[in-house]
């Protein structure tokens, strides 16, 4: 083989690499851009109905004012050196995020399908994963209002919160990740069911087991072995653990903030891929 031919072959092997790298960067840029566009569209809906944020704050307020106050006095649940109301505050924030995400994702998707909006999105070149991820980002933004409500109420009740800016940023990150996980989980259910009534029933069926099979209102050490196993598979457990270690002044994390974030992020990525595959079923 002549040296000239060898140069041609070598150049043929080397040249596609930058093109392939450029294609990957372009795909990631398109995914991020389209996801943010979808998220912006979803967030704009709050301008038309901001009262939804206040209504969503009623349930966690009742939990902290009634359930938290009663169990703080009875001291029936051992929480170590941490007062029960402090222990419970992180769990109620996670519960609030769970409820908002579950009843926002799938219900919104079915409502948009009935209006024909989903069909228009599916006819566009927007990646299906971006459609799901955009809704998850918007749900996370929606849940940030719950952080404000619960922080304000917790301060009034005397909960010792960690108000360091870095700790607050960590709380916001965990809330965004947790909201994204459960919103996309709700979207997956919305892709499989076909009516709002069925979506409401399944949402109510799932939220309470997810809540009680976590460490939101009692330590995992009090659970029977079978429930401990389920709690380790529950993403809400890791969300609560991260929140308890960051938002409370004397709070501790069993798994560590890094591991909790990693588990939530991996769960979010896996659910997003599944939802992207199922998304076209909505229009069927």
What average pLDDT score do residues 1-19 get?
48
H-state helical runs in 65-127: 69-74, 84-115, 117-123
> What is the residue whose two structure tokens read 């939990």?
63
Cβ neighbours of residue 121 closer than 8 Å, sequence gap 6 or more:
131
| Lowest-pLDDT range of 18-22, 108-112, 209-213 | 18-22
Tokens of 156: 């009034």
For position 268, what pLDDT does the model report?
93
The tens digit of pLDDT for each residue in 23-49 reads: 778 778 788 888 888 888 888 877 776
Q: Considering only CA atoms, which of 10, 40, 234, 261 is closest in space to residue 142? A: 40
**pTM for the model:** 0.85
Number of H helices, E strands in the chain: 13, 0
Tokens of 137: 């980002």
| Angstrom distance (rounded) from CA 35 to CA 127 | 9
Domain chopping of the chain, boundaries: 35-283
What one-character DSSP code corresponds to residue 68? I
For position 21, what pLDDT does the model report?
59
Q: What percent of the chain has pLDDT over 90?
A: 29
């Amino acid at each position: 083989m002549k040296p000239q031919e060898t140069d041609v072959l070598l150049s043929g092997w080397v040249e596609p690499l930058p093109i392939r790298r450029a294609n990957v960067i372009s795909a990631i840029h398109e995914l991020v851009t389209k996801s943010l566009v979808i998220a912006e569209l979803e967030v704009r809906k709050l301008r038309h109905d901001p009262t939804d944020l206040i209504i969503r704050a009623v349930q966690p307020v009742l939990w902290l004012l009634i359930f938290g106050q009663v169990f703080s006095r009875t001291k029936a649940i051992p929480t170590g050196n941490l007062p029960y109301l402090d222990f419970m505050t992180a769990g109620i924030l996670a519960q609030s995020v769970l409820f908002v995400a579950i009843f926002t994702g799938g219900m919104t998707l079915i409502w948009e399908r009935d209006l024909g909006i989903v069909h228009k999105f599916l006819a566009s070149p927007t990646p299906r994963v971006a459609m799901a991820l955009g809704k998850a980002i918007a749900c996370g933004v929606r849940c940030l209002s719950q952080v404000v409500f619960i922080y304000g109420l917790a301060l009034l009740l005397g909960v010792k919160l960690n108000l360091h800016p870095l700790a607050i940023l960590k709380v916001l990150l965990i809330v965004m990740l947790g909201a994204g996980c459960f919103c996309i989980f709700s979207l997956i259910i919305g892709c499989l069911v076909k009516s709002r009534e069925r979506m409401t029933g399944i949402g109510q069926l799932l939220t309470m087991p997810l809540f009680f099979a976590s460490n939101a209102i009692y330590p995992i050490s009090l659970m029977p072995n079978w429930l401990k196993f389920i709690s380790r598979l529950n993403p809400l457990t890791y969300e609560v653990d991260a929140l308890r270690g960051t938002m409370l002044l004397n709070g501790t994390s069993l798994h560590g903030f890094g591991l909790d974030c990693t588990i939530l992020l991996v769960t979010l990525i896996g659910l997003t891929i599944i939802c992207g595959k199922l998304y076209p079923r909505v229009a069927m």
